[in-house]
Structure 1
């Protein structure tokens, strides 16, 4: 079965129990985790068409398909854990976005154009560029974390990181090694996302947190994978001027609860990411996000000292200041103040 782009797009928006759109509709949004299952090739084609792009599924061994897809839209990016439960070959239409498939279990053979790539857990991932169909052969035990990002989103983020317009379009190689230091960072990111998908955790489903996760994911891809602008990204940058750093500090103090990232802060003060980081290191002795974390912790402590345990929770105060990972927050709070946030809250006011 092969579906046209119009029909797949319609299913992506209107299919029952499926809020995650396909390639044709990539408006920024935050949506809940969607779990979809299929017991036949036709059903599997339908599900993947709703979330990603038109495709055909060919079974290479006897028995029913046991496809499972847990997916989520984070901003403009779609992430999903996909497995078929059978040895199958997936044939896709030409993609219009960038797709990155990272094996979690099993082995996968991917082909696009004249290139073929065997990917396995902790060894390599496949990066599919727009404009070409693909063939992907899944072993029976294969599960992949499939990320879909619009090409324009990657291009815009690349220019933000570089601090200038790109003269050439971004070109990402097919093979991504997961054994390099940069590749291991991508692998860790995929493990985090897979865990959050399984637990439906707040890092993905919380609107503000999801925006930060999307930016981190895209930056990890651009900084960790070889591409035609990698050398430009890695060039040393001149430190930002002190008045620029002062403006950045003012923004953090005025709105510490905002979902800041180093990239968005650099954009707000009109410098490149490298210049901002160099300026913070030179003038403040720590990275922008470390400075923001210290600021948030201080604001949280002030609120907890004035709050009453019976009417306030640590989680609500932490969330209000943009601290979304409770385990890391509690550890950072204890390191900064020598006690847990719950101990601060239990103390009587005044």
Structure 2
């Protein structure tokens, strides 16, 4: 995807602006916690601009200090931040570790350890805010982890790779929804977009625990083929990822890791995509007087019509009823 432009982040949302250092520090402290802000530019002045929207345990922020600054921050406790320079450079220092950040490399400040950041002049940031408990819940469903303390995201995220680009796309989709000037999107749509973004954040940052699961490359390839064959035959049945793992004789964790490594998506995402594809085939071939959206959704393996409709719209760009009446 192309570079995200500063003017497009939370476009239409109110911008908080100040040139007063104390006011800027106080405003940012309300969002991210105690810190010391020190302008390093000429005359030690700044021109801060901030836009911020939070909902349901996640948030999108746009922050530009308008000059070079140093930020000495206290340890984060109950939330994660993914900090993406939209231009220029920034640095994150945690003890002796220094991460040089660019639009292609995001930084993730650590939990429970103080850190220092330096943002160059002309380095506006898009910041993704995630409550620790919210991310832990997604990790539990995705990997079987049972609490936030088990999450080890590392200090940086490569945004050039497949997983990093997928994360960026999901961030753009989420911020588009959260930036809407009109009424907020329905809760179920927001949850879908947020969970997709959080899943991709985890997939881009969680480090493997030990050797690559699923054995060697040949073993992983066989497991992936069996997984795809099972989806092709049974995806429309009442089937969960746990059921698939049992059928294939592997743990959920191994199935998650191998499928994600080999196919770039989670088993649950692929299961949903298979069902959506089947539903679209049935809708396009259906007769409006004989079939209904509800009956086709159930036949394709969906039990919640509202979730099906939202996912279908997001995937194919039209409502199920529009496909049926083509």
TM-score class, shorter = 0.5 to 0.7
Query: Cα offset for 1:119?
Result: 0.7
1:321 is the counterpart of 2:302: no
The structure-2 alpha-carbon separation of the partners of 1:57 and 1:299, relative to structure 1 and needing over 3 Å to count, comes to farther
Kindly tell me the number of residue pairs found equivalent between the two proteins: 273
CA distance in 1, matches of 2:189, 2:109: 27
**Offset of residue 57 of structure 1:** 1.7
| Cα drift, residue 108 of structure 1 | 1.0
Deviation at 1:160, TM superposition (A): 2.2
Rate the CA distance shift 1:296–1:239 in 2: closer, same or farther, 3 A.
closer
Q: Residues 77 and 149 of structure 1 are in contact (CA less than 8 Å); yes or no, is this contact kept in structure 2?
A: yes
CA distance in 2, matches of 1:219, 1:194: 16
| Residue aligned with 1:105, SS | coil
Cross-structure match for 2:142:
161
Alignment counterpart, residue 104 of structure 1, candidates 76, 80, 86: 86
- In 1, Cα distance between the equivalents of 2:26 and 2:288? 50
Q: CA deviation at 1:156?
A: 3.6
Secondary structure of the residue aligned to 1:287 is helix
Question: Kindly tell me: are residues 44 and 54 of structure 1, through their superposed partners in 2, closer, same or farther at Cα, counting changes over 3 Å?
Answer: same
1:63-78 correspondence to structure 2 within 5 Å: 64-78=45-59
How has the CA–CA distance of structure 1 residues 155 and 319 changed in structure 2, closer, same or farther, with 3 Å as cutoff? closer
Once residues 131 and 144 of structure 1 are traced to their aligned partners in structure 2, the CA distance between those partners, rounded to angstroms, is 23
CA pair 117-247 structure 1, distance change in 2 beyond 3 A:
closer
In the TM superposition, what are the counterparts of 1:134-283 in structure 2 within 5 Å? 134-163=115-144, 169-196=150-177, 205-229=185-209, 249-250=237-238, 266=241, 272=252
Q: Distance in 1 between matches of 2:107 and 2:242?
A: 30
1:87 aligns with 2:75: no
2: distance between equivalents of 1:248 and 1:342? 19
What whole-Å deviation, never above 9, does each CA across 1:252-304 have from its counterpart, x for those lacking one?
A: xxxxxxxxxxxxx64899984875998xxxxxxx6323413653796799898
Unmatched segments (≥5 aa) in structure 2: 1-11, 247-251, 260-269, 291-304
Confirm or deny: 8 A CA contact 1:37 1:67 kept in the other structure: yes
* Contact residue 105 and residue 120 of structure 1 kept, 8 A: yes
User: 1:103, 1:199 → 2: CA distance?
Assistant: 23
1:54 paired to 2:34? yes
CA drift at 1:46: 2.1
Return the offset for 1:136: 1.6
Q: 2:264 maps to what in 1? A: none
Distance 1:133 1:302, change over 3 A: farther
Return the TM-score normalized by structure 2.
0.64
Contact 1:56 1:90 in 2 (8 A): yes
Q: Structure 1: how far apart are the matches of 2:86 and 2:324?
A: 40
Distance in 1 separating the partners of 2:52 and 2:36: 19
> RMSD between aligned alpha carbons?
4.6
**Further displaced range: 265-274 or 66-75:** 265-274
Contact 1:125 1:178 in 2 (8 A): yes
Partner-residue secondary structure (3-state), 1:179: coil
SS in 2 for 1:149: strand
| Structure 1: distance between partners of 2:145 and 2:315 | 38
Paired position in structure 2 for 1:113? 95
Residue 43 (str. 1) matches residue 23 (str. 2): yes
Distance in 2, Cα, partners of 1:117 & 1:69: 24
Give the direction of change, closer, same or farther, for the CA distance of 1:287–1:132 in structure 2 (3 Å limit).
same
Q: Cα deviations across residues 38-94 of structure 1 (Å, max 9, x unaligned)?
A: 332222222222222222221112375322222222422222122112222222221
How far is 1:147 from its partner?
Answer: 1.8
1:71 is paired with a residue whose SS is strand
TM-score (norm: length of structure 1):
0.60
- Describe the SS at the equivalent of 1:291: helix
Residue 299 and residue 154 in structure 1: after superposition, are their counterparts in 2 closer, same or farther (change >3 A)? Answer: same
